[in-house]
Structure 1
């Protein structure tokens, strides 16, 4: 028998959502509610807490199918706006990765990582209603005799467009600095010499997996906000690594859990799926992601009350042989310190800057909150939750 004072089910919460009676708050709003009333009373009062994050998530892309030609074709190589897509699937299916650079990008002629257009930008263009150039070649078979295809297409022309992101929503991440004597260019942005700046990338107290640190409610089938539409958690993300050091409240202090997510691109918006160019690194995709967390009991309620002051991350020197998988730590800082605009490293004041947008994270949490309150979004009970080991 459960020792919790409050025990709710997904079915009970969904019934309240259908009836328009569910109490929904954001991950920032729940902090004060738990502090004032305690986790048990908060779990009685509140049904769902909404989270949000908007940041570059490199392990992203989409399965695309733009329909057959006459005569038919089995594509061997595919380019969309001259960005190569992977065609080793069937007939006219392909997968376009967010970090794949355009082959005729003028910056492609300078040192590696200098690109200003890639797969992420193609996905944004499609969502913005733009037409793109689709080109494919094939070796020709009896049942698929065509050897070439070229046409202008839009998202509306696609038979299928499925955003499928193998690794999104990292549960915490490093704060990056550079202690060497020269500027370094990384996926965490440009880092000036001798800790001239510090970059971080997390929505902190709004971040989905930081509000459910042990994945009590998140797993296969969890319904989420994805790119402005409805998506699903479909598996643990690649590099899911929950067995890491954690604070007493369960928050990992190093990169930990990740999500594999999918959704119908035709429901999405270019407001929430944006191509990104990172100097010296290459192309990526900024993804808007929001996960609703049902307050099934007071344990989950307590987890969602985590604040930026209680969330710690490590400060890592990305100039110290980081490419050789060697890095040096300069201790820990809280997200409250990072969001203040400066931190102290070895007695020096270092300015901080986020790669993620707290403004858009809040907008995602608010949007998801309204969807649920209006009865437009029901919770998806996971078939299994993410692994904790």
Structure 2
């Protein structure tokens, strides 16, 4: 684990999910106290996904609507959920598909809510409510797009429908294990407003440069500049007059692939849109101001 720092975290919960979905066996060893109705103290057995009568993937926070661009202004390397950050602002990491990110194309949650049918892990899933840390009151630009982390989705789907192509265990050095999830949300163009929202480009989506070497870990809300996703995807941004190389933690190539898969499934009648039965908490917005 992290006893020998920075830990490599070669195998964790996300890797178990990937292995199960890939049809591999996983070894279970469990120990517990007995009760009158459950007398076993321990259990050792190999399991595959087929051995489970039901298997649900439930993620309480997915599809974050914008997120920080992480840098490190301290004098030592820091290992974070945003990846390894070199000292003295020598690299910058970000995590969003930008112009293909679902909640950036429906920034006021007009079409996304409880019951929305989605692409999840290669199968069909559903939005089951807004996710943890959902914050629609974050500052927004004139196009309605948040300038800081804002909305989130809670999602759920049948793990037995999913594919290891879209669920991958991730080892984050010095931080821990996670699960990379392929997520796609169909957004119907219901009116002119939705056409304007979904036409957003990387050059019109901005986020904040945040220091993870000192500020973030100490709860200091401070920004060191605002950058567009066009700048981030160019491979270099400027922070305090210094050129800094950038790297994404999410894959834009995979985002395009998910969009194409979802489009083809809709056209073939294999995927149907579902109107939400309840809307996310949101804020008032008008293009007219």
**Shorter-chain-normalised TM-score: which range?**
over 0.9
Pick aligned residue for 1:283 from 177, 185, 192: 177
- Residue 267 of structure 1 corresponds to 161
1:239-293 CA distance string (max 9 Å, x none):
1011010000000010000000000000000110100011111111101000000
CA distance in 1, matches of 2:14, 2:111: 30
- Residue 287 of structure 2 corresponds to none
- Residue 110 of structure 1 corresponds to 4
CA distance in 1, matches of 2:162, 2:28: 21
CA distance in 2, matches of 1:142, 1:157: 26
User: How do residues 48-197 of structure 1 correspond to structure 2 at under 5 angstroms?
Assistant: 107-111=1-5, 114-197=8-91
Contact conserved, 1:320 with 1:328, CA < 8 A, in 2?
no
- Residue 212 of structure 1 corresponds to 106
Q: Count how many residue pairs are aligned between Structure 1 and Structure 2.
A: 283
Contact conserved, 1:184 with 1:192, CA < 8 A, in 2?
yes
For the residue of structure 2 that corresponds to 1:253, the secondary structure is: coil
Contact conserved, 2:135 with 2:149, CA < 8 A, in 1?
yes
Computing the radius of gyration from Cα coordinates, the structure with the larger value is 1
TM-superposed deviation, 1:179: 1.3
CA distance in 1, matches of 2:156, 2:87: 39
1:209-244 CA distance string (max 9 Å, x none):
000000000000000000000000001100101101
- Residue 336 of structure 1 corresponds to 230
Task: Report the TM-score, using the length of structure 1 for normalisation.
Answer: 0.71
Pick aligned residue for 1:325 from 205, 219, 224: 219
CA distance in 1, matches of 2:36, 2:46: 26
Would the alpha carbon gap of residues 267 and 306 (structure 1) be closer, same or farther in structure 2, given more than 3 Å must change? same
1:83-111 CA distance string (max 9 Å, x none):
xxxxxxxxxxxxxxxxxxxxxxxx45413
CA distance in 2, matches of 1:108, 1:347: 35
For the residue of structure 2 that corresponds to 1:294, the secondary structure is: coil
CA distance in 2, matches of 1:327, 1:193: 20
CA distance in 1, matches of 2:7, 2:273: 40
Counterpart check, 1:298 vs 2:197: no
Task: Report the TM-score, using the length of structure 2 for normalisation.
Answer: 0.95
Once superposed, what is the RMSD of the aligned Cα atoms? 1.2
CA distance in 1, matches of 2:34, 2:40: 6
